[in-house]
Structure 1
């Protein structure tokens, strides 16, 4: 999976939001956005899958502590289109992350108990166009 930009020292705390905009490849199979402390401690692994790992049009979320993955969480609402533009906002809360998608939102628990999210990266069939936080 190709790796995009990596951001460190973000300092995202509860009450703040990270908005990601980009273009999905026309032949996309999947893409990933990771939020956490660092590459080994991911509070949220966000993985929309068009057709990958046995999933079709499914968003798979997980967390990772060192090399240990947690239980996968699947969302069946899939607002992404191959070749389209994606805008996703991650709202940081004390106990979870709210993922805002076009026409849908869901929460994912902060399993690692992170008080600050310093790390963000993108991978796969997605080209980052802008990143903003407030």
Structure 2
């Protein structure tokens, strides 16, 4: 699966009934992640916060924390990510949005995965 500049990735899923967190990862390969979106219900010392980051060369970069947390344990969610050359525009389930820089500067990423306490029902790239 490839995700290219100009495209929008939409994920629909449900957080598990006992969810602590889940993550959406986009990157060029299985090792590096240009965009890590991590809604945390109660994990890593955080509660009800969305943490974004990148992982390059075996090292996590500077975190970006979002104030909107429109996720519920056991609830359905929809996340849309539009890939622009310089940044990703992320729209959360309540319609709030934020941007995250395209730190690796590539125009195509071949790995998209979801990890953690969520069940994804739809993945669409347009």
Can you list the C-alpha shifts for 1:12-50, whole angstroms capped at 9, x where unaligned?
A: 221100100111101110001101111212110110000
Measure the CA separation in 1 of the matches of 2:104 and 2:75.
32
Identify the residue that residue 39 of structure 2 maps to in structure 1.
48
Give ranges in structure 1 of 5+ residues lacking alignment.
Answer: 1-9
Identify the residue that residue 101 of structure 2 maps to in structure 1.
109
Per the normalisation by structure 1, the TM-score is: 0.90
Identify the residue that residue 66 of structure 1 maps to in structure 2.
57
Residue 79 (1) aligns with residue 70 (2) = yes
Measure the CA separation in 2 of the matches of 1:39 and 1:65.
11
Superposition RMSD in Å: 0.9
Conservation of the 8 A alpha-carbon contact between 1:36 and 1:114: no
Identify the residue that residue 119 of structure 1 maps to in structure 2.
111
Work out the number of aligned pairs and report it.
Answer: 125
Measure the CA separation in 1 of the matches of 2:30 and 2:36.
10
Conservation of the 8 A alpha-carbon contact between 1:31 and 1:49: yes
Identify the residue that residue 15 of structure 1 maps to in structure 2.
6
Give ranges in structure 2 of 5+ residues lacking alignment.
Answer: none
Per the normalisation by structure 2, the TM-score is: 0.95
Measure the CA separation in 2 of the matches of 1:115 and 1:41.
15
Runs of 4+, deviation exceeding 4 Å: none
Between stretches 76-85 and 10-19, larger displacement belongs to: 10-19
